[in-house]
Amino acid sequence: MDTVTALRRRGSRPALSVPEGPSLPVVTPAPAVSQAGFGDQNQILPAALEAVPAVAACRAETADHWIGKEVMSARLDSSTELWAVPCFAGAYNMGHDWYITGPGGRDPRPARLASTSDEPTPSTINGGYSPETRTITAFAKGRGVGDCGTASTWTWTGREFVLTEESEMRECWGVPADYWPSTWRTR
């Protein structure tokens, strides 16, 4: 605050008067693994996942909508899989719930995706998984042009998904997401 580089309450104090921030946490992604048979097209939910009540509710919500076919899957390691179940679609936002399972979708449990503003949830809006970077990303738009909302990234460490980056723009001011204030980041 009160510096020439402040986002709010700009002042005359030089930028060098801002104290150095704390060290950023280090998050190391798990090694990449083969994705043969997995992906974001033509995926069919395993029976064990279909039997989860929350999944059944999502499937009922999207049964007559194109989003119902937007199932995503990935191999996290030789005994762990990731599944994304489509749950809703709006004008510019689409929601998925994410589940971590054993082979073939066995023993499903909701993913825990932490945020800087909410309790962990298995849900993303406009989410996707990148097997190359081992990340789930989400971009919850506040309106269609995408000039406000929240953008988040979680990285698979081999044990869990950890929030590694988040930015948020609460006011719709025409600011592209690349320029939103960062609310969380790691190295």
Q: Which helix (H) or strand (E) holds 109?
A: strand 109-110
Helix (H, G, I), strand (E, B) or coil at 59: helix
**Confidence tier at 154 by pLDDT (50, 70, 90):** very high
DSSP label at residue 48: H
Whether residue 41 lies inside any domain: the answer is: yes
Please write the tens of the pLDDT for every residue from 29-69.
999 999 999 999 999 999 999 999 999 999 998 988 888 78
pLDDT at 69: 84
Whether residue 19 lies inside any domain: the answer is: no
Residues shown for the chain: 187
pLDDT at 111: 98
C-alpha Rg value of the chain to the nearest Å? 19
Domain count, the chain: 1
For the full predicted model, state whether its pTM sits above 0.85. yes
CB contact at 8 A, 148 and 173:
yes
Q: Which among 141, 133, 128 has a CA at the least distance from the CA of 43?
A: 128
Whether residue 76 lies inside any domain: the answer is: yes
